Amino acid sequence: MSENIVWHNTSVSHAERTQLNGHKPAILWYTGLSGSGKSTIANAVDRKLYERGCHTYLLDGDNVRHGLNKDLGFGDNDRVENIRRITEVANLFADAGLIVGTAFISPFKEDRAQARALAGERFIEVFVDTPIEICEQRDPKGLYKKARAGEIGNFTGISSPYEAPESAEVHLRTAEMSVEQAAQVVVDYLLS
Ligand code: ADP
């Protein structure tokens, strides 16, 4: 742990950044099983916001694991650290004034609660609610097949739990809506 570290206030205020951007920052925290549609919907939302002139950035699970979190695995402790780092990074982007999307399974309630506590009122939990049978049928990355074959351990929904949110700000039942419809629900919530 570092000592002798002092927080520096920045000269450009949060209010000034918000005014320049023309919108408030937010963290859209997508959570759901692998293959539920987090990345797909987050990208569709990002595109819609971009087209409206919003300043956005998307933090995608796999991409972050290529860099920032490449030293982390999928055991419980590493998952917690994975989420902690992502939350800190999302918070920095939000401090910079952006609408940040994070597309991670984030299966544990406690981790999402920690993210919410750090992010404060700008945290918007988006539950991408897709039954596991459908995720498994979609299997866009072939991961369920590998998990069923025992080639991947700690796989959420199969050999590791997914704790569904009970009061997410946005609840998307993707079996009953298109990607376009789901993205519109998120944008409407954000800009209402
Ligand atoms: P995740 O990021 O949650 O792992 P992905 O977005 O990578 O999931 O994959 C979801 C897959 O399901 C994509 O191939 C997407 O095209 C497909 N899909 C089909 N219908 C929907 C829907 N209504 N909402 C989201 N994704 C859908």
Q: pLDDT tens digits for 130-184?
A: 999 999 999 999 999 999 999 998 899 999 999 999 999 999 999 999 999 999 9
pLDDT of 9 reads: 80
pLDDT of 115 reads: 92
Least confident of 49-53, 77-81, 179-183: 77-81
Residue 4 Cα to ligand 1 middle (Å) = 46
35 labelled ligand-binding: yes
Residue 25 has pLDDT above 80, yes or no: yes
Name residues whose C-beta falls within 8 Å of residue 12's C-beta, 6 or more positions apart in sequence: none
- Phi and psi torsions of 169, nearest 5°: -65, -35
Residue 25 Cα to ligand 1 middle (Å) = 26
Superfamily of 14-191 according to CATH: P-loop containing nucleotide triphosphate hydrolases (3.40.50.300)
Say what the pTM is.
0.92
Q: Which two tokens stand for residue 6?
A: 């002092």
Q: What is the mean pLDDT of residues 105-109?
A: 92
Please answer whether residues 154 and 59 qualify as being in contact, where contact means their C-beta atoms are separated by less than 8 angstroms.
Answer: no
- The DSSP bridge partners found for residue 57 are 100
Residue 131 Cα to ligand 1 middle (Å) = 12
Domain boundaries, given as residue ranges, for the chain: 14-191
106 is annotated as an active-site residue: yes
Check if 178 has its Cβ closer than 6 Å to any atom of ligand 1. yes
Q: To 5 degrees, how large is the angle CA 90–CA 63–CA 95? A: 15
Residue of 13, 106, 159, 167 with catalytic role: 106
